[in-house]
Amino acid sequence: MTTLLKSATIIDASSPFHKQQKDILITNGFIEKIANSIPAKKEYEVVNYPNLHVSCGWFDTSVSFGEPGFEERETIQNGLLTAAKSGFTAVAITSNTDPIVDSKSAVEFLINKGASSNVDVFPIAALSKNSDGKEMAELYDMKQSGAIAFGDYNKPINNDNLLKIALQYAQNFDGLVLSFPKNNAIAGEGIVNEGVNSTSLGLKGAPALSEHLQIARDLFLLEYTEGKLHIPTISTAKSVQLIKDAKKKGLQVSCSVTPHHLTLTDDELAGFDSNVKVNPPLRTKSDTKALIKGVKDGTIDMITSDHNPIDIENKKLEFSLALDGTIGMESLFGAVHSVLDLETIIEKLTKGPRAVFGLEKTQIAKGAKANITLFNPDELSTFTEEHILSTSKNSAFIDKKLQGKAYGIYANNQLVTK
């Protein structure tokens, strides 16, 4: 099959065609030619979208699909189709299924289920057995089966020694350990950010201190063990500073941030909309400003949707009873483009996460394997339920203004568009 992308503006800082508008010819999954104009032949599949831009394929490093165990929230098949149409050529699937992804067979199940998709599947296996934080899972066996990292999704590692041992043990096979930034003892029963809004609304608050203490502990253990640590979905200004200081000391630490923490604040709580009940909770305007600055200066390595489908029975409830989580793949690009420049966004969705998780580099160049995201950075829209491709509809961005949209992807010798 031959596909011709017409008049595509290339956004790839590593490419000699960066910021140039070119035609791109793809044959049997590889880029055959890049030129100012390539004549279309009858047998070509021609792609010619308004204001077409292309970049290396986006990688979302925190995606929950539910299957196995919670198929009513999302199946792997529909989840991967949603990822493709949202611009992602690769996703890291979290371990919060039933059963938990804490064994070699569970890792292989996820990989096999995604084998026929044009979206690459990379499991993040549980760090502890059943994600209960007590006993370390068989990390090496899961690494051999295809797991790219280890972490108990949205669950802090309360056992200091467990994290220490994991950081030491994983060094034997260059493993990456994840630690969710929350101290349960300090957070207590808090369900939103502790502050003016939580007090005025009568909602139990979790102080930002719970995140800071956990990150500080993690960084002390990282310095002691000389391991490799990833802190997912940070949410506060102090967290940015702690990680920035650790990087200056030469520690192997990375972190991610979500679109909702970059663009939304706890002012959203006024409507008691359970779609904005997330973990970590939405913070303050000063926190969002610091997170944006952290993305720009390189402290924050990547942006992730933290896509977490929740069925209506567990989400459309009284705020205090609803489960945490928002879907996010469909809205990620349009949300962050309202606060970040295009080149920074692309770097945080491509080069940044691939470097941290040790994946193969991609490039838009002649002879390279075609791993490409197609998008329009300028289209303005209001995000509604009609834009949601996921089975579950729990989006924090419903009725929010977005700038930019994904057309789809070309990857693994397949074109998938909306």
Tokens of 103: 């064994």
- Classify 321 in phi/psi space as left (phi over 0), alpha (psi -120 to 50) or beta: alpha
Task: List 60's β-bridge partners, or say none.
Answer: 91
Q: 278 with 309: CB under 8 angstroms?
A: no
Number of H helices, E strands in the chain: 14, 18
**Dist CA 416 CA 409 (whole Å):** 5
Neighbour-count burial of 224, counting CB atoms closer than 10 A to its CB (0-12 exposed, 13-18 middle, 19+ buried): exposed
Q: Alpha helix locations (H) across 318-406? A: 332-336, 342-349, 351-356
| Rounded-to-integer distance, Cα 32 and Cα 135, Å | 50
Alpha-carbon gap, residue 308 to 327, rounded angstroms: 5
| Burial of 259 (C-beta count, 10 Å sphere; 0-12/13-18/19+) | buried
Distance CA 160, CA 220 (A): 10
**CB-CB contact of 5 with 23 (8 Å):** yes
The catalytic residues are 306
Distances in whole angstroms, Cα of residue 25 to Cα of each of 53, 294, 308, 361: 15, 37, 36, 20
Q: C-alpha dihedral over 164, 166, 171, 175, to 10 degrees?
A: -140
Name the strand (E) or helix (H) holding 84.
helix 76-85
- Cα 203 to Cα 121, 264, 395: the distances in Å are 38, 18, 21
